[in-house]
Structure 1
């Protein structure tokens, strides 16, 4: 072992760089790590595949270029090599190798959720960096046959460790948004990596026997050093300056897509990171067992009707509780909307089929779907088949879409809604009043009803203008043959104001919170009637359509059986 160590040390003929040069290189290397981190983070925070691909391409070009510049600058630290000519072909070939290796590995290092994949990809990135270095310095090598085994093993280990450490710390920085168990990467981490790069560079120049001393045809190394530094700084600054613009472009894209669904998620850096994490784990999340549903009742205060709106609930072992709106936006950006909507619909229909075997024959459900799902030419036939397989009548299902989507997509959406109407499935306009609210379109759209946004209910008891507006909406809907549901009813005063306006379909916490799907039958048989009676008790005794004390139309016809189907 001693002889092996001594033999290896004899090949370390290029001395460690002087203190001043080492410190400068250390600082430069730490800055390079910082820039690389910013670029990788930007790639990781992209959500849709196109943005991720473009960001990865830009990041790879920049990272490969500045790492190449760092490698070339490092050659000027050593007195034994500072006067050697840097030949153009090997130098540019090394640049190409570093850029290509970064392009092949950055997508995985920035988005993979598997530590094993990160480690393997880090090893490939390290091999690419070493291959690029040896290509750059090929004109300096005296003999490739004389190899310092210790130096090359240590170099590979350090290079792999640096890339793997940075990638895992980057993953921890993303996860720190969700849990304090993780912490973001700090300048101490970057300085540690910079020091490791300094040692790595010294090991690399000692891997093969090098030409030492003056080299024939030597050129002014100061000019070359200045050119390389300017090149590295220009590339880094250009890409860093573009990050904010690209982030703004992606936020505009997400904001536009979020209008197609109900979304109260404000775009900010925190939500961007959450979306990127969901995108990283989307393949695992997109499974029917993970798409749990809760159902919030929609009650009519005058008729025997009960409708349940399906609401998505997701919890992941790594990501914790996931905001459904954020999850659905990520699916939209990833092109998975139709897939997840169909999974949710199947889950909802399975629950409805199970409830009907338990006596809930009068219950109907509503499910929110995206435009891309509804407008697909195969959707209506597919939905008809799903209903038939479960022996469910089409009228038992209603589909909800935001007014943004229905109105913005025009004739295509109208044709899709008519196809569903022919099937027997009604389509409701959700969040009416939160966007365009084009009254002229109501006469042309083949929708079955509207759901008024919570915006109408806000301060309703004190706001006479809102009260008048709701009375007009009620009259207009009645003339057009549309049902009206008011969302977000939370106080008795709001309930009474709605009843005075002639609106009796309500949904909100005043009547019931969302209920987990397995608990719906128990709630139906034991809590529905008491909650309904408590709700009716809040209304005035006259002029509101309240059921009389002898009215039993809402009671089960026999113990344990559901109340009769509504009129």
Structure 2
């Protein structure tokens, strides 16, 4: 060990840079780490594959360029090397190597969820950085046969450690949005990395013995230093100035796509980070066992039978509880919508098949699906096969489609709904009235019914205009042969106001909260009839009825997290 250390010290011919130059380089390196982190974060917060690919490409070009400039600037720190003039071909070759190595590793370092993959990508980035440095300085190396093994091992270890540390801290910073267990990044992290880069650069210039510099070329070296600094600053500022514009473009894309499913999602930086985290772990989340379903009853106050709407619930060990609407929007952006919708439909049909095997033959379910799923030419035949394999009559399944999607997609949607109607599966227009309702489309579409959005029941007992509107909707639906379900019914007053308007199909906390799929048979046998009787009693109770029926008063706001909404 002593002999190795002694031999290593003999080839540490380039001394550590002076204090002032070291401090300036340290600050410059910390700023470079900050810029690189901003670019990596922008790539990581992209959700759809195209945006991630474009962001990763831009980030790699910028990161490779400014790291190359940092490396070249660092050569002027040392008195022994300050008069070297870099040759064009080796310098540009080193730039290409650094950019390519960044392009191959930034996607994993920015969005990777596996620490093992992050470590491997960090090692590869470190190898590329070292290779780029040795290419830049190749014309000044006396002999590549004389290598300082200690400097080489330490250089590789520090470079890998910097990349891995930054990637893992970045991953923890994203997760800190969801849980306080993780700490957000700060300038201390960047200063630590800047100091490590200073030590790394000194080790690199001591890896191979260098030729003595030519003092006659000092003026050229100073000019090159200025050019490198200006180049690095220009590249960094240009890419940083574009981040906000690109982030705004991606938000517009997400907002437009979210309207096809729901209008209730918040659009802010917090939700963007959540979406990017879901995208990072999507491959693991997209498994039938992770797509747990709860079912909320839909009841007719004057008839027997019950229908259940499938509602998606997701909880992950790393991400915690996930908003299903956010999860489904990420699936939309990732091009996984049809896959996840079919998984949810299969899960729901499996539950229904199990319940019917237990004697619950009168049960029917409804499942939300996205436009891209329903309009695929193979969906109707696939659905028919799934029903046949389980021995389920088509009438036991209803599909729900948001009003936004039904109206926006016009003729294509008509053909898709017609194919399902021919199969015997009814399609309902969900969230009716929440967007841009078109009465003309109600006449065109072969839908079986509508579900009035819970906006209709807000302040319904006191709002005569809403009462008149609901009465007209009821009359119109009756004339068109459509069923009408009203969502979000939470108080006895709302129930009686709906009954007065002629609407008896309801869904909401007043009757029942969503029920976990395994608990549905027990609920059906032990609670359905008593809850139906209590609902009937509310309809015939004069006055507000709130004080005497506290068991039906909701304890929290309505949450309509539908499986495909």
Superposition TM-score, scaled by structure 1 size: 0.94
Matching of residues 296-307 of structure 1 within 5 Å = 296-307=296-307
CA 522–537 in structure 1, closer or farther in 2 if over 3 Å, else same: same
Deviation of 1:201 after TM superposition, in Å, equals 0.3
Aligned to 1:271: 271
Residues 420-440 of structure 1: per-residue CA shift (max 9 Å, x gap): 000000000000001111111
Match of 2:507 in 1: 507
Counterparts of residues 119-130 of structure 1 (less than 5 Å): 119-130=119-130
Distance of 1:295 and 1:7 partners within structure 2: 73
> Which moved further from structure 2: 198-207 or 250-259?
250-259
- Which structure 2 residues correspond to residues 10-21 of structure 1 after superposition, within 5 A? 10-21=10-21
1:178 CA displacement: 1.3
Structure 1 partner of 2:368: 368
Does the Cα contact within 8 Å between 1:85 and 1:219 map onto a contact in 2?
Answer: no
Q: Which moved more, 1:270-279 or 1:378-387?
A: 270-279
Answer yes or no: is the 8 Å Cα contact 1:263–1:325 preserved in 2. no
Whether the 8 Å contact between 2:83 and 2:217 is mirrored in structure 1 is no
The answer to whether structure 1 residue 540 and structure 2 residue 565 are counterparts is: no
1:419-472 per-residue CA deviation (whole Å, 9 max, x = no partner) reads: 000000000000000111111111111100000001111111111111111111
Which digits, 9 at most, give the CA deviation of each residue in 1:132-156, with x for residues without a partner? Answer: 0011111221111111111111100
Q: Which residue of 2 aligns with 1:101?
A: 101
Q: CA deviation at 1:213?
A: 3.5
Which stretch of the first structure deviates more once superposed, 427-436 or 221-230? 221-230
CA drift of 1:262 comes to 2.7
Distance 2:266 2:465 in 1: 28
Residues 85 and 215 in structure 1, CA contact (< 8 A), matched pair in contact too: no
Kindly state the Cα deviation for residue 317 of structure 1 after the two structures are TM-superposed: 1.1
1:74 corresponding residue in structure 2: 74
CA distance in structure 2 between the aligned counterparts of 1:414 and 1:292, rounded to whole angstroms: 31
Query: CA offset at residue 185 of structure 1?
Result: 1.3
C-alpha distance in 2, partners of 1:491/1:284? Answer: 40
Instruction: Tell me, in whole angstroms, the C-alpha distance in 2 between the residues paired with 1:72 and 1:136.
Output: 8
The secondary structure found in structure 1 opposite 2:340 is: helix
Residue in structure 1 matched with residue 162 of structure 2 by the alignment = 162
Distance in 1 between residues matched to 2:12 and 2:141, nearest whole Å: 13
What whole-Å deviation, never above 9, does each CA across 1:341-399 have from its counterpart, x for those lacking one?
11100110011111111121111100000000000001000000111111111010000
2:403 maps to what in 1?
403
Which residue of structure 2 aligns with residue 472 of structure 1?
472
Unmatched runs of 5 consecutive residues or more in structure 2: 543-565
Matched, 1:461 2:456: no
Paired residues, what number?
Answer: 542
Shift of 1:305: 3.0
Match of 1:244 in 2: 244
SS at match of 2:496: helix
Partner of 2:52: 52
Given that residues 162 and 196 in structure 1 are in contact (C-alpha distance below 8 angstroms), is that contact kept between their aligned partners in structure 2?
yes
Could you list the per-position Cα deviations for residues 157-210 of structure 1 after superposition, in whole angstroms to 9, with x for gaps in the alignment? 100000010011111111111111111111001000000000000010011010
Aligned equivalents of 2:215, 2:451: Cα separation in 1: 82
Q: Give the equivalent residue in structure 1 for 2:558.
A: none
Kindly report which structure 2 residues correspond to 1:38-437, keeping only aligned pairs within 5 A, or say none: 38-214=38-214, 219-437=219-437
Shift of the alpha carbon at 1:92?
0.6
Describe the superposition over 1:94-133 as per-residue Cα deviations: whole angstroms up to 9, x where unpaired: 1000000000000011111111111111000000000000
SS at match of 1:359: coil
- 1:523 maps to 2:523: yes
Deviation at 1:299, TM superposition (A): 0.4
Residues in 2 aligned to 1:368 and 1:263: alpha-carbon distance in whole angstroms: 15
SS at match of 1:513: coil
* Partner SS for 1:195: helix
Q: Secondary structure at the match of 2:138?
A: coil
- What whole-Å deviation, never above 9, does each CA across 1:269-315 have from its counterpart, x for those lacking one? 11111111111111111111111100000000111131100000111
Question: By how many angstroms is 1:231 displaced?
Answer: 0.8
Does the residue aligned with 2:224 lie in a helix, a strand or coil? helix
Report how far residue 220 of structure 1 moved: 2.4
Distance 2:35 2:496 in 1: 60
Q: Deviation per CA, 1:73-95, whole angstroms, max 9, x where unpaired?
A: 10111111111111111111110
RMSD of aligned Cα (Å): 1.1
- Give the Cα–Cα distance (whole angstroms) in 2 for the partners of residues 248 and 32 of structure 1: 24
Identify unmatched segments of 5+ residues in structure 1.
543-567
- Normalised by the size of structure 2, how large is the TM-score? 0.95
- Residue 554 of structure 2 is matched in structure 1 by none
- Could you tell me how far apart the structure 2 residues matched to 1:264 and 1:140 are? 63
What is the deviation of 1:222?
A: 2.0
- CA distance in 2 between counterparts of 1:241 and 1:12 reads 41
Match of 1:556 in 2: none
CA shift for structure 1 position 541: 6.5
